[in-house]
Amino acid sequence: MAELKTRENDASVDAFLAKVADPVRRQECATVRALMERVTGEPARMWGPSIVGFGRYTYRSPATGREGEWMRTGFSPRKGALTLYLMSGFKPLADLMEKLGKYTTGSSCLYLKRLSDVDLKVLEQAVRRSLRTPMGAADAAPAKRSSPKPKASAKPARRAAGRKAAKKKAPRRAR
């Protein structure tokens, strides 16, 4: 069986975060790190080469029965979004997610384009509740977007011939 590649290691969190190129993203990471350290009571640790994690728990895969160690919560400063890992998934956080602000989600991933797009007090409540929720609740949580895609217009699409006919000019009147 393949070994899990993302594991807790002794790499420096400070050195990793200092290498974040975007100064705004670097500051966002400092803010999220402080929030997660305060909520978990755990120091930040590197998980793999690019995830900052807090705490750990042992999980058992329902599909394979294999056990492994994983962080209780964490984040990663990805190029496209600041990714937060909330292991409870989002179903137990539904009421908070409505108040959070602008984000997208995966099964346990919260994607933030900018930290300023969300309410930090609500984010802290979500992290806190996620830690109190039994692990594995993510399995029941469907992925969702906070901003639904606009619905298609109810008007029927015009046919190409109809568009051309509509653009014809009326004949000029004789003077």
Q: Does pLDDT of 141 surpass 60?
A: no
pLDDT recorded at residue 142:
38
> Residue 140 — very low, low, confident or very high, per pLDDT cuts 50/70/90?
very low
CA dist., res. 141 & res. 138, Å (int)? 5
Give the residue-averaged pLDDT of 129-134.
88
Q: What is the pTM of this model?
A: 0.74
CATH code for the domain in which residue 32 is found = 3.90.1150.200
pLDDT recorded at residue 1:
47
User: Is residue 52 one of the residues assigned to a domain?
Assistant: yes
**Domain, as residue range, for 123:** 8-144
Q: Which of 19, 108, 91 is nearest to 57 (CA)?
A: 108
User: Is residue 132 one of the residues assigned to a domain?
Assistant: yes
User: Is residue 14 one of the residues assigned to a domain?
Assistant: yes
User: Is residue 167 one of the residues assigned to a domain?
Assistant: no
Total domains in the chain come to 1
| Residue scoring higher pLDDT (175 or 8) | 8
> Residue 66 — very low, low, confident or very high, per pLDDT cuts 50/70/90?
confident
Give the residue-averaged pLDDT of 110-116.
97
User: Is residue 140 one of the residues assigned to a domain?
Assistant: yes
Burial 76-96 (b: 16+ CB within 10 A, else e): bbeeebbbbbbbbbbebbeeb
User: Is residue 113 one of the residues assigned to a domain?
Assistant: yes
User: Is residue 164 one of the residues assigned to a domain?
Assistant: no
> Residue 68 — very low, low, confident or very high, per pLDDT cuts 50/70/90?
confident
User: Is residue 158 one of the residues assigned to a domain?
Assistant: no
Mean pLDDT is lowest, of 34-43, 82-91, 143-152, for: 143-152
pLDDT recorded at residue 173:
61
